[in-house]
Amino acid sequence: MSEVAWGAVLRILQAFLQGSPFIFTGLCITGLLSRLMGHADTRRLFGSNSLLSLAQSWLIGMLLPGCSLGVIPICRQLRASGIAVGTIFAFALSSPLFDPLSLLYGLTLSKPFTIMAFAACSLVVVMVSGGLFDWLFPDTEVHLPEPPAPPQGIRRMLAIVVEMARETTSGTAGLIGLGLLGVGLLAVVLPAGSLQLSMAHDNPASPLVMTAIATPAYATPMIVMAQLGSMFQHGNSIGAAFILLTLGAGMNLGLIAWMLFNYGWRKLVVWFGIIFMAVLIISYGIERPLYPREVEPIGHTHAFDRYCAPFHPGQVPSGGFVAEIGRRVKQETLPHEWFGAGALLGLAAIGGLLRVVDPHKRVDTWLVRPRADGRVADRWDIVIPGPVLALIGLGAIIAGSILGCYAYYPPAAEVLPELSDANIEVTHAAMTGDTARAMQAIPTAENWTRRLLVGCYLREGRVSDADLALVREYEMQLEELEDAIEHGDSPETFRKQSLAITAAHGELRRAFETKQPH
């Protein structure tokens, strides 16, 4: 049973690292709303207890980068600002679904109409469920005292940092921990590879099974988009794909616990009853109209392996579980994820220190104390109202997310050499029978392939059907090798599949080399 426990540890650690940049962004947004925007202007920005406020929150959520863990501190702040539950969850459900990075990637996975239809359906879910809940329970707005606003200047900026640090060591941390715990529980309950034959298009139970899996699961928008791409490519259920996006990206155990603690079990049951009903009705309704008829269904998929145990029963890595977890984390974690994790640890250290040396929040009192001379600003200072500065900060977060698209998805000239190196690693390992190294290199090759595709889409506005077919063929050949290794096929099978991968990579490279500037 040790492989089950260590597998849960790996999944939780992977989820934390992948979500850390979004959690940090959520803390930044919380600080801006709390210390600069204030309760009244936050209510004006998001609205409350009306159909218009639901649409406003949905739009804001779609623009800001986030994940279902990163919205937890924002939800706490929105509640403190006196916003109704329906409006809060309109933001909470929409923010983790799309951001500029994931939306661009999603548009390359299937027909753009499908992704835009998913976005429109998420708006319908938000409007119907939020509107109905607010009609049933019109009294969910709370009125908490607003802390004094800090004076303009350096203390206003320090107040944001202190707010973020205290939030990091508050109940938010426990709720985020519960959200991560759901990933570990799935890894305990679901054996390795147990979902590879699930979510078939012709299985009417697929959306129901996905609902049971997606609700406790946690995934970032980019990961969910990659899973949707695999589902489209393999001819899986479109309804299950929509549920994976809506609940897998938009929900976690921490959000469920937050609503239970603040609003009670009755409102919790009604809210999720409405949500599940709306999502399931839409998922069954879009199954046939959006299903890609040109795709030939494939009997298996690796899209959902990340929700299952990472280690097979009785499997003990050669270097032990601790070394294997360290190796996987080092290989899979991206630079911005290391930055997010480091920033969170830094905020936690500051918050923990404040809890020890300043339990009565004297620092917070000093930060909001008016200037002794009574002046608002010095003679040459430029006075910017807090709400304006908060909107500038939110705009900077959105702009940074858009600029990050160009950094994360470089041009073909930069991606092709990296993809070639990863491809050599895969094929050489398979040829020599080093299946463990091949399994390690396959995800790297797949990642560079996706970045190549989206980078071209970002710069040219489209990807031709011929280029898309070449990418899918290469990914299919990689998956065939992965299946052969998992099934313990013969070395001759590995050799033949390596040759097929090399041929597919050559066709792909030649097609995208023509797009490089001369």
DSSP output for 423-442: HHHHHHHHHTT-HHHHHHHH
| Domain match, 309 and 439 both | no
Q: Is the pLDDT of residue 57 over 90?
A: no
Nearest to 367, CA basis, from 511, 185, 165, 506: 165
The whole-number average pLDDT for the span 472-485 is: 86
CATH of the domain at 424: 1.20.120
Structural domain tally of the chain? 2
Q: Is the pLDDT of residue 419 over 80?
A: yes
| Domain match, 463 and 391 both | no
234 is a domain residue? no
| pLDDT of amino acid 381 | 58
CB 203 within 8 A of CB 237: yes
The three-state secondary structure class of 236 is strand
Assign 3-class secondary structure to 29-60. Answer: HHHHHHHHHHHHHHHHHHCCCCHHHHHHHHHH
Most confident residue range from 134-148, 179-193, 450-464: 179-193
| Domain match, 439 and 401 both | no
At 225, which amino acid appears?
M
Mind listing the pLDDT tens digit for each residue in 187-231? 999 888 777 777 777 788 888 888 888 888 888 887 887 777 777
| Domain match, 313 and 434 both | no
- What is the per-residue DSSP string for 130-152? HHHHHHH-TT----PPPPPPPPS
**Burial of residue 373, with CB atoms counted within 10 A of its CB: 0-12 exposed, 13-18 middle, 19 or more buried:** exposed
| pLDDT of amino acid 294 | 65
Q: CA 417: distance to chain centroid?
A: 28
Range with lowest mean pLDDT among 37-46, 251-260, 302-311? 302-311
| Domain match, 325 and 416 both | no
- 274 φ/ψ angles, rounded to the nearest 5 degrees: -65, -45
The whole-number average pLDDT for the span 386-403 is: 81
Helix spans in 141-220 (H) = 154-168, 171-189, 206-214
The three-state secondary structure class of 200 is strand
Rounded Cα gap, residues 19 and 174, in angstroms:
15
| pLDDT of amino acid 515 | 63
| Domain match, 316 and 436 both | no
Range with lowest mean pLDDT among 258-262, 402-406, 430-434? 402-406
Q: Which residues pair with 200 in a beta bridge?
A: 236
Q: Which two tokens stand for residue 223?
A: 């990961």
Rounded Cα gap, residues 427 and 438, in angstroms:
7
Q: Which residues pair with 236 in a beta bridge?
A: 200
Q: Is the pLDDT of residue 101 over 90?
A: no
**Which DSSP category does 477 fall into?**
H
Q: Which domain holds residue 454?
A: 410-513
98 is a domain residue? yes
At 518, which amino acid appears?
H
| Domain match, 326 and 455 both | no
> What is the C-alpha radius of gyration for the chain, rounded to an integer number of angstroms?
24
| pLDDT of amino acid 109 | 64
Mind listing the pLDDT tens digit for each residue in 363-392? 988 888 876 666 655 555 567 777 888 888
| pLDDT of amino acid 468 | 81
Q: Is the pLDDT of residue 518 over 70?
A: no
Q: Which two tokens stand for residue 458?
A: 């970002």
| pLDDT of amino acid 1 | 58
| pLDDT of amino acid 374 | 60
**Which DSSP category does 306 fall into?**
G
The pTM for the full model equals 0.86
Rounded Cα gap, residues 172 and 174, in angstroms:
5
Mind listing the pLDDT tens digit for each residue in 326-355? 888 888 888 888 999 999 999 999 999 999
